[in-house]
Amino acid sequence: MNHDATAPLLALDRVGKRYGDRTALQGVSLAVAPGETVGLVGESGSGKSTLARLALGLLAPDSGTVRFAGRDPYRLRGRADRALRGRLQFVPQHPRGSLNPALRAGEAVGFALRLHGTPRAERAAAVARLFAQVGLEPALAARYPRELSGGQLQRVAVARALATGPDLLVCDEPTSALDRAAQARLLDLLTELRERTGLAYLFISHDLAVVRRLAHRVLVLRHGRVVEEGPADRLWDSPAHPYTRALLDAATGAAPPAPGLPRTTNHLTTDHI
Ligand code: ADP
Ligand code: MG
């Protein structure tokens, strides 16, 4: 590609998006460099999934620009763009809903390879390699989604995303449907993949504790605007915005409330901030 290697892989510049008269995002700028993990955190309804859909080119912004490797992802449609499209992939929140129940796990990954243009003769070996890469037993390739656990399904979703050789994975709440142990294992897998392949992530969660484990840099989204951004550890140790403090409080259940703020518990109630 003729894209400058030092330029960001993904760049959103002052992006706005409305649904009818509801503003989902306003003036949001964000960049992900090659190999970088950027975390996006915010409570439900703050605009995280809208941002993911814009980054993936599933939605077009009303204002501002979105670029992946210098191109508008919303326009990456034609056959000629297949290779570039394959460099940008998605890991969903609910793998059970995103995997075809009639396809065995290996077939689902094979189908992604086929769409990407991998020749038929190479697909079985590629599926086996992808299963190994995400730590799934080869025998699980013959199972249907209903025969797999949530954690296994999420690994199939990651294998399917890796099938096209991506540079960036957009992960929208990938751990929130998993139990604690499966969550930790998935975060370990994503960390290991990143170290091995140099993958970049846009990693989205409502849980600052989860984001902190993976992200180099974090943006805090509230009501469709970025209210704070910085290195993950800095946000964790000394959040500047009261909303970030509330998220931190919700994540740890132990942090003292910010001055003048009522204590939040499991459910964020931050409209007063
Ligand atoms: P999050 O992922 O942080 O929960 P979303 O991006 O899903 O946030 O939603 C942001 C806002 O946009 C919310 O107020 C939500 O109700 C609204 N919204 C999201 N998708 C749609 C849609 N397809 N039509 C109308 N409103 C939507
Ligand atoms: Mg969402």
- Atom 24 of ligand 1, nearest CA residue: 19
C-beta separation of 104 from 143 below 8 A: yes
| pLDDT tens profile 59-108 | 999 999 999 999 999 988 766 677 888 999 999 988 888 899 999 999 99
| pLDDT tens profile 245-256 | 999 888 877 544
- Atom 14 of ligand 1, nearest CA residue: 45
| pLDDT tens profile 208-241 | 999 999 999 999 999 999 999 999 999 999 999 9
| Rounded CA separation 170/55 (Å) | 8
Q: Which residues surround ligand 2, an ion (CB under 5 A)?
A: 48-49
Q: Which of helix, strand or coil describes residue 58? A: coil
Going along the chain from its start, the domains and CATH numbers come out as: 1-78+166-273 (3.40.50.300), 99-165 (no CATH)
Q: Which ligand is nearest to the CA of 43?
A: 1
Radius of gyration of the chain (CA): 19
| Rounded CA separation 194/196 (Å) | 5
In the prediction, which pLDDT does 103 show? Answer: 96
- Atom 26 of ligand 1, nearest CA residue: 19
Q: What is the mean pLDDT of the chain?
A: 90
Angle, alpha carbons 29-82-17 (nearest 5°)? 25
Q: Of 238, 233, 232, 245, which is closest to residue 273 (Cα–Cα)?
A: 245
**pTM, entire model:** 0.90
pLDDT(6) > 80: no
Ligand 1 atom with the smallest distance to the CA of 42 is 3
Q: Give the distance (Å) from ligand 2 centre to CA of residue 34.
A: 24
Ligand 1 atom with the smallest distance to the CA of 51 is 6
In the prediction, which pLDDT does 255 show? Answer: 44
The strand pairing partners of 66, in sequence order, are: 12
Q: What's the mean pLDDT in 117-134?
A: 96
DSSP letter (8 states) at residue 267: S
In the prediction, which pLDDT does 4 show? Answer: 58
- Atom 22 of ligand 1, nearest CA residue: 19
Both structure tokens of 254:
């132990």
| Rounded CA separation 119/268 (Å) | 49
Q: Give the distance (Å) from ligand 1 centre to CA of residue 27.
A: 16
C-beta separation of 239 from 221 below 8 A: no
Confidence band of 3 (pLDDT split at 50, 70, 90) = low
Q: Which residues line ligand 1 (CB under 6 A)?
A: 19, 22, 24, 42, 44-50
In the prediction, which pLDDT does 267 show? Answer: 45
pLDDT(151) > 60: yes
Both structure tokens of 198:
């140099």
In the prediction, which pLDDT does 139 show? Answer: 96
Q: Give the distance (Å) from ligand 1 centre to CA of residue 45.
A: 6
In the prediction, which pLDDT does 126 show? Answer: 97
- Atom 27 of ligand 1, nearest CA residue: 19
